[in-house]
């Protein structure tokens, strides 16, 4: 067999000391290809190594691609979906962001619900979903302590999902596709959520093919019409400058967090920063012109308002994904900005209006831990729930009942959309807007096309003026 060889070298067990737990890793080489597997306990690692060694001593051939003895091939036919998903998550954990890890665990939990072999004795649905998402499909916490109920749910799941090869049947994979494109209550999921779920399932099954468990991705045999995902900005969600002013003023009046959130929301609106970019901003990334000493008033004075431009440098983002999904064990997953290479930065102009707000903010609240610009009343990094709750409260106080029922300023992220919309409506070149906002030009033109086309009358006049003298 071309994929098999007797050239096998099995190495010893390595102890891997992590921040929260210790694992044990085995490495072996088959036909020059390195393979490895990690176990929660030394006993499991030793057991696996013993099985490899025993097969080698019996003179069995090993698969080069999988690293396993050829006689183990039959075990692939009994590999369950639950066990395979654990392997998939482990293989792709390290290089995935916290959000991707969390999304994959949730979507594959949805898929698992369509692959039970029986409902007899199945634990409560919510308990099972918690067990799968937070433990079974979470590489970093699978071995953590849990309640007896969680342990029992995981044990039940381990015995009652279909074998992986069952997904080669179109009817089975169609049932899975149907489940992951629905909400928990059975209603259709949003178009963007359905497309994402299908993408995750496809990637998972591609890995099954790569490992030799399936001969082809079964999704290719299923006809499925992807729902149309609207990429254009919903203009009804974009607040006007007066509405933004009223909303931020309302936030500011609510103590104790309100006064320090004034600068936070102003930054989102006047620079188009994403909330996860703003919460990670440090004063070292905010470049303001120095104040000058006024001998008459005997005090430091900022530059004249119209000349008081500054610059903000976006280096990292910190989305709130939860402690169980980050490598650091912190709530926020610090990483490069979306679509940016390691070390790449984005420079955004800081207009005079915002410069004055930031100067007052620093005078009143100082610097947060690590030089953070925005931080909570307890001195920690600004929590997502704090600014989301403040924004929701301001919406209820400022907007009418009819407006609250619409997408108008529904979330703090809409301040970013409002800023980009205004930049385009003011005639700023799309390439420049894309650079400031951290978008590709393609995405900018697709999402904000209506903002650009809304200036047709102005553009016609400009076009006509170019032909003067003809």
For the stretch 221-230, pLDDT in tens is 888 887 776 6
pLDDT of residue 9: 94
Question: In terms of domains, do 67 and 87 share one?
Answer: no
pLDDT of residue 232: 67
Main-chain phi, psi angles of 14, to 5 degrees: -100, 135
Nearest to 391 by CA among 200, 266, 248: 248
For 372-427, the pLDDT digits (tens) are 999 999 988 899 999 999 999 999 999 999 999 999 999 999 999 999 988 988 88
Q: What is the C-alpha separation between 273 and 75, in angstroms, rounded?
A: 51
Neighbours of 113 (CB within 10 A): 18
Question: In terms of domains, do 273 and 296 share one?
Answer: yes
CA distances from 451 to 3, 132, 147, 216 (A): 57, 44, 53, 44
Question: In terms of domains, do 96 and 194 share one?
Answer: yes
pLDDT of residue 275: 94
Question: In terms of domains, do 70 and 85 share one?
Answer: no
pTM to 2 decimal places: 0.72
| Residue 155, domain extent | 81-221
Question: In terms of domains, do 257 and 388 share one?
Answer: yes
Domain count, the chain: 3
Q: State which of 32, 58, 75 marks the end of a domain.
A: 75
Q: State which of 167, 197, 221 marks the end of a domain.
A: 221
SS3 track for the chain = CCCEECCEEEEEEEEEECCCCEEEEEEEEECCEEEEEEECCHHHHHHHHHHHHHHHHCCCCEECCCCCEHHHHHHHCCCEHHHHHHHHHHHHHCCCCHHHHHHHHHHHHHHHCCCECCCCCCCCHHHHHHHHHHHHCCCCCCCCCCCHHHHHHHHHHHHCECEHHHHHCHHHHHHHHHHHCECCCCCECCHHHHHHHHHHHHHHHHHHHHCCCCCCCHHHHCCCCCCCCCCCCCHHHCCCHHHHHHHHHHHHHCCCCHHHHHHHHHHHHHHCCCHHHHCCCEHHHEECCCCEEECCCCEEECCCHHHCCEEEEECCECCECCHHHCCCCCCECCECCCCCCCCCCEEEEECHHHHHHHHHHHHHHCCCHHHECCECCCCCECCHHHHHHHHHHHHHHHCCHHHHCCCCCCCCHHHHHHHHHHHHHCCCCHHHHHHHHCCCHHHHHHHCHHHHHCCHHHHHHHHHHCCCCC
Ranges of residues in the chain with a pLDDT under 70 are 1-2, 19-20, 73-77, 229-232, 337-341, 449-464, 466-470
Q: State which of 221, 245, 277 marks the end of a domain.
A: 221
- Looking at the DSSP bridge assignments, the partners of residue 311 are 287, 349
pLDDT of residue 76: 53
Question: In terms of domains, do 331 and 393 share one?
Answer: yes
Q: What is the C-alpha separation between 357 and 359, in angstroms, rounded?
A: 6
Question: In terms of domains, do 56 and 175 share one?
Answer: no
- β-strands 286-287, 22-30: how paired? unpaired
Question: In terms of domains, do 86 and 216 share one?
Answer: yes
Is residue 229 in some structural domain? no
Is residue 466 in some structural domain? no
pLDDT of residue 235: 78
Question: In terms of domains, do 34 and 152 share one?
Answer: no
């Amino acid at each position: 067999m071309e994929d098999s060889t007797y050239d096998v070298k099995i190495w010893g067990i390595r102890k891997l000391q992590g921040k929260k737990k210790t694992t044990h890793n085995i490495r072996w080489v088959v036909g020059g290809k390195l393979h490895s597997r990690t176990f929660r306990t030394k006993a499991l690692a030793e057991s696996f190594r013993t099985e490899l060694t025993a097969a080698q001593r019996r003179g069995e051939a090993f698969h080069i691609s999988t690293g396993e003895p050829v006689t183990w091939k039959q075990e692939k036919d009994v590999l369950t979906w639950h066990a395979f998903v654990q392997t998939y998550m482990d293989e792709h954990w390290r290089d995935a962001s916290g959000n991707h890890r969390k999304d994959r665990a949730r979507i594959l939990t949805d898929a698992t619900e369509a692959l039970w072999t029986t409902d007899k004795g199945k634990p409560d649905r919510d308990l099972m979903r918690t067990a799968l998402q937070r433990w079974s499909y979470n590489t970093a916490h699978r071995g953590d302590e849990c309640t007896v109920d969680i342990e029992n749910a995981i044990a039940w799941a381990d015995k009652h999902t279909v074998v992986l090869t069952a997904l080669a049947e179109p009817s089975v994979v169609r049932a899975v596709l149907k489940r992951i494109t629905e909400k928990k209550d059975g209603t259709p999921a949003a178009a963007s959520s359905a497309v994402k779920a299908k993408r995750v399932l496809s990637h998972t099954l591609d890995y099954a093919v790569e490992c030799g468990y399936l001969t082809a991705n079964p999704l290719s045999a299923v006809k499925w019409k992807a729902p149309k995902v609207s990429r254009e900005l919903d203009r009804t969600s974009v607040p006007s400058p007066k509405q933004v002013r009223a909303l931020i003023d309302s936030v500011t009046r609510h103590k104790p967090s309100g006064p320090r959130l004034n600068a936070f929301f102003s930054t989102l609106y006047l620079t188009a920063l994403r909330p996860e970019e703003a919460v990670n901003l440090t004063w070292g990334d905010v470049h303001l012109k120095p104040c000058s000493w006024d001998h008459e008033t005997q005090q430091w004075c900022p530059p004249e308002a119209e000349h008081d431009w500054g610059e903000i440098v976006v280096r990292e983002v910190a989305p709130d994904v939860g402690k169980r999904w980050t490598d650091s064990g912190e709530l926020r997953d610090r990483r490069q900005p979306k679509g940016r290479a390691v070390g790449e930065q984005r420079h955004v102009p800081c207009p005079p209006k915002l410069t004055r707000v930031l100067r007052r903010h620093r005078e009143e609240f100082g610097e947060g831990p690590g030089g953070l610009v925005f931080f909570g009343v307890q001195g920690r990094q600004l929590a997502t729930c704090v600014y989301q709750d403040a924004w929701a409260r301001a919406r209820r106080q400022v907007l009418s009942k009819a407006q609250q029922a619409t997408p108008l300023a529904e979330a703090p992220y809409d301040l970013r959309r409002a800023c980009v919309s205004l930049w385009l409506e003011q005639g700023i070149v799309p390439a420049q807007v894309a650079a400031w906002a951290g978008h590709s030009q393609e995405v900018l033109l697709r999402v904000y096309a209506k903002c650009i086309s809304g200036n047709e009358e102005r553009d016609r006049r400009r076009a006509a003026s170019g032909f003067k003298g003809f």
